[in-house]
Amino acid sequence: MSKINVLKVKPEAFLAINNGSKKAEVCVNDFSYENCDSLLILPYSKVDKTYLNYDPFEHTFKKITQRPIFSNGILVDITYVDPIEKSDNLVVLNFKKITQYKRRSFLLAKLEYSFKHISV
């Protein structure tokens, strides 16, 4: 018998993403990440205290003045969780990109319908 869980995502949990490599720094909070999990990475600038926007043409994150609900994010599948690089409530994830430059509401809706089957 299997149990179906819906992945819950809180945008404030995601702090930063490094576009130069396939790694992301994500605030752990109450989340537990495993291989093959899907999650939304919504970049956040701690300095400017604002969410950032991924520009697929310049391959950089640009600031936006919109509220976070209207900002863009990147939906990823985790390919590896690095248990060694945990510090200051951050964990380093390796991931593969699924889609990018989509509205966060679209990505969250996609995540809400991504079910993970876990054996009980």
Over residues 75-111, the pLDDT tens digits come to: 555 555 554 445 554 455 555 555 444 444 554 444 4
Q: Indicate the number of domains in the chain.
A: 1
67: Cβ contacts below 8 Å, ≥ 6 apart: none
| 120: in domain | no
- Residue 93 belongs to domain spanning: 11-113
Quick one: pLDDT at residue 90?
47
Residue 73 above 50 pLDDT? yes
| 6: in domain | no
The values of phi and psi at residue 70, to 5°, are -100, 0
pLDDT per position as a tens digit, 19-69? 444 444 444 443 455 555 555 555 555 566 555 544 443 333 344 333 344
State the pTM of this model. 0.33
| 118: in domain | no
| 60: in domain | yes
**Contact (CB, 8 A) for 4 and 75:** no
Quick one: pLDDT at residue 45?
56
| 1: in domain | no
Quick one: pLDDT at residue 41?
57
| 3: in domain | no
| 59: in domain | yes
| 88: in domain | yes
